Structure 1
Amino acid sequence: MAKASEFKKGMVLEVNSVPHIVKTIEARNTSSRGAATLYEVRLNNLITQQKFDLLLKSDDQYPVLDCERAEVQYSYTDGDQYVFIRMDDYSQHPVNIEDISDELGYITEGLEGIVALIVGGVVAGLELPSSVILPIVDTSTSIKGSSSSARTKPAILCTGLEVQVPEDIALGDIIKINTATGQYMSRA
């Protein structure tokens, strides 16, 4: 059991008999004297991938689940499953496409830094690296003399993900994307 004041990003907790991963924690101090600190915790259900918010007092407790973290790499697609290979023992772990639909726009073959959360021998979720580098496969032509900090335009990446990029970015450019926000960071 862990108290809300001990929660850390990435912990796997059992909430309503279902595994949830802690995505964000924000402590809120109330203004009156002697009032308890409240913790606003955002969780992701590892089975349905739905987001779930809790507002907890520092003494509220939830069971911590045993969850193995293993570095994996995307290998291939088999029907409606993505197959990941574990980097330490090269075992294969299939994951349904709908279970990782939010992450698909960032996953490419050979992408390193993916961590699988394994509960009971099954991949319950993926943690992506903080940023990925992807090429642009479709965008409008760049405007000569445009500034990199001015207006933006849509661009489609090799994975099918659409992001907003500065106007001076051209077709074929390779860019860095923040996986948490889905926003353009810089040229690679």
Structure 2
Amino acid sequence: MIEVGDLRKGMVILYENEPYRVIDVNKHHMAMGRGLVRTKLKNIKTGLVRDVTFSSGDRVPEADLTFRKAQYLYSDGDHYYFMALDDYEQIAFSEEEIGDAKWYLTENLEVDLLMLENNAIGIQLPNVVVLRVVETEPSFKGDTVSGGGKPAVLETGLKITVPFFVETGELVKVDTRTGEYIERA
């Protein structure tokens, strides 16, 4: 059982004996009362999205997920293909099922397949991925005084803010949970 205050985007829980993925979580505190946790849940089996409000302190069961190592192969535009490393089975996910993870997928990236009752329901990315900067503004001497950064486009199309000293063609480490620049690779 997991407390609803600890729910995070992307977690899979059981609600009314059905597996749901948490799409969004908002916590609301009321004066002189218990807080509310408003969630948006998507049924993994049917695709139904529903808004559910819990009282803070409520507990929900976490889905019994297993993980399977896989490697990202390619995308044909509509689907993303992965190969399980234990038996070389190919598994395809639609762009909707992959969601924002598509911005971090590079060829041969190893991920974990999320398995529920022997069915693949999604992927879990590593916390950090290395991506190449394909487009960014040139830096000028003295730019570092103000701190901050400049926009950059990475090889997957992801747009992030990088420090002024990062140039086009360099490899950078990106946190897949927040989408932020960490350091040069």
Quick check: TM above 0.5?
A: yes
Corresponding residue for residue 4 of structure 1: 3
Q: Distance in 1 between matches of 2:61 and 2:54?
A: 16
Q: Distance in 2 between matches of 1:15 and 1:148?
A: 51
1:116 partner SS: strand
Any residues of structure 2 matched to 1:87-126 within 5 Å, and which? Answer: 87-112=85-110, 114-126=111-123
Matched, 1:170 2:167: yes
Cα 1:24/1:149, change in 2 over 3 Å? farther
Any residues of structure 2 matched to 1:37-52 within 5 Å, and which? Answer: 40=37, 45=42, 47=44
Q: What is the root-mean-square deviation of aligned Cα atoms in Å? A: 3.6
Any residues of structure 2 matched to 1:1-188 within 5 Å, and which? Answer: 2=1, 4=3, 12-16=12-16, 18-21=18-21, 40=37, 45=42, 47=44, 54-58=53-57, 60-112=58-110, 114-147=111-144, 150-188=147-185
Q: Distance in 2 between matches of 1:175 and 1:44?
A: 33
| Deviation readout 1:70-106 (Å, 9 max, x if unpaired) | 1211012245111111122221111011221311111
For structure 2, list consecutive stretches of 5 or more residues without a partner in the other structure. Answer: none
Q: What amino acid maps onto 1:71 in structure 2?
A: K
TM-score normalized by the length of structure 1: 0.74
Cα 1:134/1:70, change in 2 over 3 Å? same
Cα 1:132/1:62, change in 2 over 3 Å? same
Say whether the 8 Å CA contact 2:22–2:42 is kept in structure 1: no
Q: What amino acid maps onto 1:135 in structure 2?
A: R
Say whether the 8 Å CA contact 1:136–1:157 is kept in structure 2: yes
| Deviation readout 1:136-161 (Å, 9 max, x if unpaired) | 00111122343287132111000010
1:76 partner SS: strand
For structure 1, list consecutive stretches of 5 or more residues without a partner in the other structure. Answer: none
Cα 1:166/1:61, change in 2 over 3 Å? closer
Q: Percentage identity across aligned positions? A: 33
Once the two structures are overlaid, the 10-residue window that deviates more, 137-146 or 12-21, is 12-21
Q: Distance in 2 between matches of 1:184 and 1:168?
A: 13
2:68 partner SS: strand
Say whether the 8 Å CA contact 1:142–1:167 is kept in structure 2: yes
Cα 1:3/1:186, change in 2 over 3 Å? closer
TM-score normalized by the length of structure 2: 0.75
